Amino acid sequence: MFKSKRSGLVRRLWRSRLVTESDGRDGGRRGEAARHGHSGRLHRHDTAHAFLKRLKDRSLDALVKAVETKGGVPGECVTVPRTDLRLGGHHVSPQYLLCRLFRWSDLPLSARLKALCHCQSFGSGDSAKVCCNPYHYSRLCGPESPPPPYSQSRSDEHKLLGKFGENDTGTSIGSSTSGGHRSHWCSVAYWEQRTRVGRLYPAYEPSLSIFYDLPQGTGLCLGQLHANIRSKIGFGIVLSLEADGVWVYNRSQHPVFVHSPTLDLPSARGLSVRRVMPGFSLKVFDFECSSWMTEHGVKPETQEGPWDPHSIRISFAKGWGPCYSRQFITSCPCWLEVLLNTHR
């Protein structure tokens, strides 16, 4: 009975893997594939299938939930010994193997994978164990331009403990703290074009899920705010407060578009709106860069009139700015304004 359950879980996972047109689903094609030079792909599949069969029942069950819901139920960590697996002529990590098998069939060996903040592998690079749940990872957006010329020597001086997450009652947005209660680190406003919908939503935990429809999870559910909400938001995004800044992870099926003061080069002549594809993460606010800009009185040339140096704007599915037909974010169907709670 137990063997049958394990075999059933492995079969469900194997059916959920990403299959390219050249792979084929029929195991009887193995001879044909080998004759046409696809033996390397078959070896990769053999390695992955053998790895799955070695996992424990609980790990297999967690993987099935994550893979079949496409991250809607991210599930628990699936920890395995930190080791290299033979994949063709290369050695790869377990998390790379499963991310390639279930999320990105074209994942290059050089791709940088970032553990999400709720994963046990987050910030534990020297641990003997590693999580291989593919939906506990994101890919990193590559740089589109050189970083601004702020000083790298003062990084430890401007980490979040000095400016974000502290209890303060003077300049917080939307609420204040009292007694031993922790202050929120940001407030989120949801907009549909020029109309703000709902109230400001304060974030107290280090990560905040913002979504339209999610099988399992807590956070800001935009589906409850307005009848005309755009369903393309889907699983939405995860905002996370980390040591070096604020990150956005896009777990929806459509791109999101982001602008913040620290994404703009001081000398930029056009608004820098970054596109974050599904499954990717981007640091959308850099604490050190923000401190450097404040210290030097830097204001991007693209900004006219009032300017909030601690505000992030995120549009779902539609971009805006010089590269898009919509020049202003207020023309986008649904977007967020993230107001960081810091000393002003």
Name, of 177-186, 227-236, 242-251, the range with top average pLDDT: 242-251
Interatomic CA distance for residues 319 and 284, integer angstroms = 15
Measured in degrees and rounded to the nearest 5, phi and psi for residue 172 equal -70, 155
DSSP string, 108-135: -TTPPEEE-TTSTTTT-TT-SEEE--GG
To the nearest 10 degrees (0 to 180), the angle between helices 94-102 and 39-54 is: 110
Helix then strand then coil, in percent of the chain rounded to 5, is: 30, 25, 50
Q: Which of 35-49, 157-171, 208-222 shows the lowest per-residue confidence on average (mean pLDDT)?
A: 157-171
Q: Which of 257, 202, 254, 261 shows the shortest CA–CA distance to 231?
A: 254
Q: What is the DSSP string of 239-288?
A: EEEETTEEEEEE-SSS-EEEE-GGGS-TT-SS---EEE-TTEEEEEEEHH
Contact 269, 302 (CB under 8 A): yes
pLDDT, residue 81, reads 93
Average pLDDT over residues 38-45: 57
Give the confidence band of 73 by pLDDT, cuts at 50, 70, 90.
Answer: confident
Higher pLDDT, residue 125 or 283: 283
Domains and CATH numbers, the chain: 2-17+38-140 (3.90.520.10), 152-340 (2.60.200.10)
Looking at residue 189, its pLDDT comes to 96
Distance CA 330, CA 137 (A): 32
Instruction: Give the contacts of 281 (CB within 8 A, at least 6 positions apart).
Output: 114, 116, 138, 139, 140, 141, 247, 248, 249, 250
More confident call, 266 vs 314: 314
0.95 surpassed by pTM: no
Helix axes 2-15, 39-54, angle to 10 degrees: 140
pLDDT surpasses 50 at 9: yes
User: Helix count (H) and strand count (E) of the chain?
Assistant: 7, 17
224 φ/ψ angles, rounded to the nearest 5 degrees: -90, -5
Q: What percent of the chain has pLDDT over 90?
A: 52
Distance CA 46, CA 238 (A): 34
Span of 241-250, 264-273, 333-342 with lowest mean pLDDT: 264-273
pLDDT band at 295 (very low <50, low <70, confident <90, very high): confident
